[in-house]
Amino acid sequence: MSRTIPNFGRVALAAALMTCSVMAGAQTKTTINAVMHSPLRVLDPIITTAHITRNHGYMIYDTLIATDKDNKIRPQMLQDWKASADGRTYTFKLRDGLKWHDGGAVTAEDCVVSIKRWATQDKMGQLLTSEMAGMKVVDATTFEISMKEPSDLAVRALAKPSGVAPFMMPKRIADTPPTQAITQHIGSGPFKMVMAEFKPGVQVVYEKNTDYVPRTDAASGLAGGKKVFVDRVKWIATPDAMTSVNALVNGEIDYLEQLPFDLEPIVRANKNLTIKVLDPQGYQTVMRMNHLHAPFNNKKIRLAAMYAVGQEPVLQAVIGNPTYYKTCAALFGCDAPYASQEGAEISVKANPKKAQELLKEAGYDGTPVVILQPTDTPSVNSQPVVIAQALRAAGFKVDMQAMDWQTVVTRRAVQAPPKEGGWNIFSTNNVMAEASDPLRAFGVAANGKGAWFGWPDVPEIERLRVAFSRTSDEPKRKEMAGQIQKLVIEEGVLLPMGQYYVPAAYRSNISGSLESPVPVFWNVQKK
């Protein structure tokens, strides 16, 4: 296999790196050049669960609370929080030195408005809103959240690390309706976005926020001191995986977020490169069906589709190397606190005979199943192919439609019938940090059109999620998590297709990369 970058790749990469090269020549700026798992086009981290937009959010925004590498909850923008004696009211106090990128001071009012906007879109935020008695500003740096029942849900919700993370924004920006994308991108985080250099789908540039005051405690996961040791970070889009790996080998980029498994030998053979899994919790790949339209508005047909798909073929297609994946029934993590075997007979191994029986019982009429297939993102482009093969073998008619990932992200929000621009199936992946319990796992919510794309309506799941949020008894939580998993599988809310781990690759002059469910660039140094 050639290690030479194809001409079209060289041209694209040269264009993307031009600004950085000039600066490097002048030796005035330290820049990390990175290729991420997907090009960045959508900038508002509240209106999408796309991981690339979430990653962008962590560059320029900050959160009130964060989780460390051990998934423990720690204050971030907050100095501290206090619970009332009855466990119903939580008081949150901002720490000193917080400024927006435009120089304005961060206030409690900014945070309250940001929380309200976030909570309309995020499934855990929606639950928080329904359980809240109220939220109010106390003074310039203090606000309160009151709950209907004693609960620490407010703390856990504001600490959630992914899905739609609760990023803080200035009030004037957070006042933007949650269905409308923001047009200004100003946070209080450790980096600023350089809008003049942003080229959607091509490159995005961040510069160090020199006014940022890190916490004094050591960086850990998404918590602790966010100390920035470089001047700039540039995310560059490349035309394909081979081009990305060649660029890393040749020193034209410093960091590759997701190393393609089939190209790992090239990187491993190079003594100047490091391979490391930076998210030990890993990923879960999932299949999502649209409950609003035929054929998956029929429960038996949803079950038939799930029986048709096996985890091993999916993981073999996506990863290939068993070192980096495992099959398991657990919806909330294979080796995690809420691991369960509920629904294993449906979710783990394919059973095409059972799928065929269910299709016959349901009277499936041959309605085509529209599957969205992204072609530009290696982590999600193989699953639809395997799913399509499995469904055809079970007797489904399949219409697989190819598009880029950002088009998938846009189209999956469409509730119209498949013939009018809608869909029947898409697949994606979650970091386990965003799916480790029934509240964080946004795909578990089953409140109809208020749910994640697919819009399942299962009131019993919602009742159990509320009960889970109100108890601190871990044995009870584990029992309820198992009950929720059983319902999720039986009702076809979400099909877990296995768990896997993705290595990053970076050059030997890069150090300080943190273990985290989100790729972050604070604490990172470049020699």
Tokens read off for 26: 């002048």
C-alpha closest to that of 276 among 255, 262, 247, 245:
255
C-alpha closest to that of 329 among 495, 472, 446, 171:
495
The pLDDT of residue 498 is above 70: yes
> What is residue 232's predicted lDDT score, i.e. its pLDDT?
98
CATH 1.10.3720.10 fits 7-60+189-259+269-275+504-526, yes or no: no
The residue-averaged pLDDT of 247-276 equals 96
Helix pair angle (123-131, 459-470), 10° resolution: 70
Q: Model pTM?
A: 0.84
The residue-averaged pLDDT of 161-182 equals 95
pLDDT digits (tens, 9 = 90+) for 331-384: 999 989 999 999 999 999 999 999 999 999 999 999 999 999 999 877 889 999
Least confident of 212-216, 316-320, 415-419: 316-320
For tokens 């399509």, the residue is: 388
Distance from C-alpha of 432 to C-alpha of 430, rounded to nearest angstrom? 6
Domain positions in the chain? 7-60+189-259+269-275+504-526, 65-174, 283-500
pLDDT digits (tens, 9 = 90+) for 218-245: 999 999 999 999 999 999 999 889 999 9
Tokens read off for 496: 């877990």
Distance from C-alpha of 163 to C-alpha of 171, rounded to nearest angstrom? 22
The pLDDT of residue 7 is above 80: no
Which stretch of DSSP H or E encloses residue 371?
strand 369-374
> What is residue 3's predicted lDDT score, i.e. its pLDDT?
36
DSSP three-state, residue 49: coil
pLDDT-derived band at 472, boundaries 50, 70, 90? confident
Tokens read off for 428: 């994606």
> What is residue 50's predicted lDDT score, i.e. its pLDDT?
85
pLDDT digits (tens, 9 = 90+) for 446-469: 999 989 999 999 999 999 999 999
Distance from C-alpha of 29 to C-alpha of 242, rounded to nearest angstrom? 28
pLDDT-derived band at 2, boundaries 50, 70, 90? very low
> What is residue 24's predicted lDDT score, i.e. its pLDDT?
44
Burial of residue 307, with CB atoms counted within 10 A of its CB: 0-12 exposed, 13-18 middle, 19 or more buried: buried
pLDDT-derived band at 8, boundaries 50, 70, 90? very low
CATH 1.20.1740.10 fits 65-174, yes or no: no
CA atoms within 13 A on the CB side of 242: 10
> What is residue 13's predicted lDDT score, i.e. its pLDDT?
55
pLDDT digits (tens, 9 = 90+) for 108-167: 999 999 999 999 999 899 999 999 999 999 999 999 999 999 999 999 999 999 879 999
For β-strands 232-236 and 31-35, DSSP reports them as: parallel
Beta strands in 209-322 (DSSP E): 232-236, 255-256, 273-277, 283-289
The CATH class for the domain spanning 283-500 reads alpha beta
> What is residue 368's predicted lDDT score, i.e. its pLDDT?
96
> What is residue 243's predicted lDDT score, i.e. its pLDDT?
96
**Given CA atoms 425, 431, 435, 440 in this order, what sign does their dihedral have?**
negative
| Percent of the chain topping pLDDT 90 | 86
> What is residue 22's predicted lDDT score, i.e. its pLDDT?
42
pLDDT digits (tens, 9 = 90+) for 197-213: 999 999 999 999 999 99
> What is residue 46's predicted lDDT score, i.e. its pLDDT?
95
pLDDT digits (tens, 9 = 90+) for 63-112: 999 999 988 999 999 999 999 999 999 999 999 999 999 999 999 999 99
**Given CA atoms 506, 512, 516, 517 in this order, what sign does their dihedral have?**
negative
For β-strands 203-208 and 232-236, DSSP reports them as: antiparallel
